[in-house]
């Protein structure tokens, strides 16, 4: 592993240090972020569709609310499972520390789940007017719910790679990528061709912006900080996560962008569905690599 501060003249070698603690936040946390992106993303997409294509979106209130409810429950389940003392989860609500993004995020996610439950009930009862009133607040709350993980990562002072401006942009874009992809697959015959194309545009543009940010960090990040340079070595050259990183970038961003363009020119819904499927699967890899590589950095 290259590190630019190792001087040949010193030939310094660590001959005794305890092993790194290993991966502290494993794939459970990846699943947490992935499921949360979908759970909040479909809410954003329904919000857009209700305004741009109300005739299609009217039939999607219940399926969207159920999808969001299921994925937010998956997110919370994996959050709980990742704790070493899951039965003490209640401490967060009784001894909260308000400087912690984990504590604030837990409150918001709990409120979000409560509102989603209400949405499912209202959609099931076909009370569209009441649904839309609650839905506005759910959409607004979905923004900080999807962003709080970026704040949590930013609070990890040890992990230089995770900076709040880029991570918050990536969290929102992950929600719009996965939300539009999930909605394309979920919509089926309920969505008109125009509504699907709107979702395709969201998917393609979100993928483009997210890809630009990752590439910017890949190229320019190492120029700013030694720790970022060291971290990036894990996804460059023969790095252990190089393949997974590029597979994720191609599956989530590059191929879906091309497929969205092709689907517009050929008016093919099958290509759009393929783009959506690839983006959903690839996003897990993208998130996982970005979660793991800063944890490999030697701290001592």
Partner 1 sequence: MQLGFLVDLHLCMGCKGCEIACKVENEVPLSTWRLRVKYVDVGTFPETKRTFTPLRCNHCENAPCERICPVSALHYLDNGIVNIDKERCIGCAGCVMACPYGAIYIDPQTQTADKCTYCAHRIASSMMPACVVACPVQANIFGDLDDASSNISKYIQTNQGNVQVRKPEKGTNPHHYYVGGGNVSLNPLASHRVDGYSLFNKITTLPVGGHH
Relative orientation angle of helices 269-292 and 27-52, to the nearest 10 degrees: 140
- Rounded CA gap, 202 and 152, in Å? 26
C-alpha span between 69 and 76 (Å, rounded): 11
Cβ proximity to partner 1: between 14 and 223 the closer is: 14
SS3 category, 144:
helix
* Residues near 152 by beta carbon (within 8 Å), at least 6 away in sequence: 101, 102, 105
CB of 214 to partner 1, least distance (A): 21
**For partner 1, which is the closer residue by CB, 99 or 189?**
99
Closest distance to partner 1 from the beta carbon of 203 (Å): 31
Write out the residues near partner 1 by the rule CB under 8 A.
Answer: 1, 3, 5-7, 10-28, 81-86, 88-89, 91-92, 95-97, 99-103, 106, 152, 155-159, 226-227, 230, 295, 298-300
Residue 21 C-beta: closest distance to partner 1, Å: 6
Minimum gap (Å) between residue 138 Cβ and partner 1: 24
Residue placing its CB nearer to partner 1 in the complex, 12 or 215: 12
Task: Tell me which residue has tokens 């607004």.
Answer: 140
What DSSP state is assigned to residue 157?
Answer: T
Give the residue carrying structure tokens 């609650």.
134
CB closer to partner 1, 21 vs 237 = 21
CB of 116 to partner 1, least distance (A): 22
269's tokens: 């819904």
* Residues 245, 272 contacting (CB under 8 angstroms): no
Q: Which is nearer to partner 1, 95 or 265 (CB)?
A: 95
- Cβ atoms within 10 Å of 225's Cβ, excluding its own: 13
């Amino acid at each position: 592993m290259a590190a630019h501060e190792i001087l040949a003249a010193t030939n310094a070698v660590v001959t005794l240090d305890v092993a790194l603690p290993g991966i502290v936040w494993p794939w459970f946390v990846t699943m947490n972020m992935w499921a949360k992106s979908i759970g909040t993303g479909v809410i954003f997409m329904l919000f857009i569709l209700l305004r741009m294509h109300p005739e299609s979106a009217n039939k999607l209130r219940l399926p969207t609310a159920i999808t969001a409810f299921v994925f937010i429950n998956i997110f919370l389940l994996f959050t709980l499972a990742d704790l070493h003392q899951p039965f003490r989860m209640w401490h967060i609500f009784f001894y909260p520390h308000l400087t912690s993004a984990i504590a604030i995020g837990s409150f918001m996610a709990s409120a979000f789940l409560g509102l989603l439950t209400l949405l499912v009930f209202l959609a099931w009862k076909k009370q569209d007017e009441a649904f839309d009133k609650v839905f506005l607040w759910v959409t607004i709350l979905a923004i900080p719910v999807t962003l709080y993980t970026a704040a949590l990562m930013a609070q990890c002072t040890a992990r230089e790679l995770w900076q709040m401006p880029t991570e918050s942009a990536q969290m929102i874009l992950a929600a719009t990528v996965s939300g539009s992809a999930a909605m394309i697959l979920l919509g089926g015959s309920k969505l008109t061709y125009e509504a699907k194309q709107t979702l395709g545009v969201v998917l393609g543009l979100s993928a483009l912006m997210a890809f630009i940010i990752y590439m910017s960090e890949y190229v320019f990040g190492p120029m700013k900080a030694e720790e970022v340079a060291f971290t990036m070595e894990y996804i460059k050259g023969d790095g252990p996560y190089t393949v997974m990183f590029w597979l994720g970038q191609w599956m989530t961003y590059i191929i879906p962008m091309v497929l969205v363009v092709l689907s517009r020119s050929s008016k093919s819904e099958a290509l759009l569905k393929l783009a959506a499927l690839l983006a959903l699967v690839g996003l897990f890899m993208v998130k996982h690599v970005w979660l793991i590589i800063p944890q490999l950095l030697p701290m001592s």
